[in-house]
Amino acid sequence: MKKLWIAGLLALIGVVGITAAWYGNRQVNPIAFAIHAGAGTIDPQAMDDATQEAVITTLDRALAAGYTHLQSGGDALGAVARAVVILEDSPLFNAGVGAVYTFEGGHELDASIMSGRDRQAGAVASVTRVKNPILAAQAVMNDSPHVMLSGEGADQFAREQGLEWVDNDHFNTPHRRQSLERAKAKLMAQASVDQLPLDQRSGTVGAVALDRNGDLAAATSTGGMTAKRWGRIGDSPIIGAGTFADNQSCAVSATGHGEFFIRYNVAADICARVRYLDEPLSKAADWVIGRELKGVGGDGGVIAVAPNGEVAMPFNTPGMYRAAIDGEGNKVIAIWQAPLVERQLNR
C-alpha cells in the first residue's frame, strides 16, 4: 500500500528547476538547499500511511520554498527563513505550532539564524508568544545590536518589530500533550532525562542554503525537550552548537540531544574540520556525528552545505526527517536511511 501512494506522490512532486549552469561564456554559481525536521527513534511500523504522506508533502513544500527563492536569485538567509517558517507552521514537527510542552504545561521556543558572509547572527530563547521564532531570531540579527535575546524581553522585542503574537495555547497539540503525560510519568518514577525516549529529548527543524553569490546561511528552530524545567535551553539557539555558517567552510543546522551538541560545539566543529583540516564536508560531518558525538552517547544529526554545493545529512539515530537539493541538482527526501524520493533535476 505504501509503495502505491509513494509512487503517486512522486508523480505529484514537481521538479523545481535549474541549478548550476552555463549561460553563454559565464558560469553561474551552484545553489544548494537542505532542510531537516528532527532526528530520533522514528519507527516506520508505527507511522501510518497518512502521516508519512503528510511528512513527505510538508518537507517537499519547505524544500521548494527555499530552493525556488534561490533559483530566482534570492539570498541564502531568505531561503532558510522561508523554509523554517513552513516547518514551524506544521503541527508535525517540534517547532512553532508543533512544539512540545514544558513540565508546567506551556511552551518555550528557541531559534537562531546565521549568515556565512559576515558571521552576523541572531537568536531567541524561551519565547512564549511570538508565532514564528525564526523571524524573531532574524529580527535580532537585523534590527538589534545583540546576538541573543530571551524570555519576555525577546517576546516584547519581536512585538515591537511587528511580528505576529499569539497566545501560548496556539502551540497546543493533542499528541504533544500525550507525550508530556508519558514523560512526566517516567520522571515522577525517578527516571532521569537521559532515560526518556529520544523523541522526547530532541526534535528540531532547520535549513541550510548556498545562494548564487556563494553566500551560506543556516537556521534552526525548536520547541525543546518534552517536560523541560527551570528554563532549560538546548543547542538550537546557540551559535556554534546548533547553528553555524561561514562562507570559508560550511553551513550547519543540528538536531538531537542538545546538551551534547553544546558541549562539543557540533555545528562549528564540523565547519572547523572543513576549513582547517581541508576535509570534504561529508567526511567532516560523518566524523563528528558518527564517531565523536556517538562515542560519548550523543544522539542526533545535522544537515550541512559547502561552498561547492555539496550537501551532507548524517545522523546516528534510527531516522531523521530531511530533504535536499545539492549543487548538481540531486534531490532527495528521506526519513530513514533509504530515500523515499530521489531524482536528478533537469539542468
> CB of 232 within 8 A of CB of 225?
yes
Catalytic-residue membership of 102: no
Which of 102, 204, 226, 317 is an active site residue? 204
Pairing of strands 121-127, 148-150: parallel
Quote the CA–CA distance of 203 and 95 in Å, as a whole number.
8
Beta strands in 65-174 (DSSP E): 109-115, 121-127, 148-150
Q: How far is CA 6 from the centre of its chain?
A: 24
Quote the CA–CA distance of 162 and 101 in Å, as a whole number.
26
Cell numbers standing for residue 197: 525516549
Q: Binding site: residue ranges?
A: 232-235, 255-258
Q: Binding site for substrate: residue ranges?
A: 232-235, 255-258
Cell numbers standing for residue 289: 556525528
| Number of Cβ atoms within 10 Å of the Cβ of 224 | 28
Query: What is the maximum span of the chain, computed from C-alpha positions, in angstroms?
Result: 69
Residues labelled as active-site residues: 204
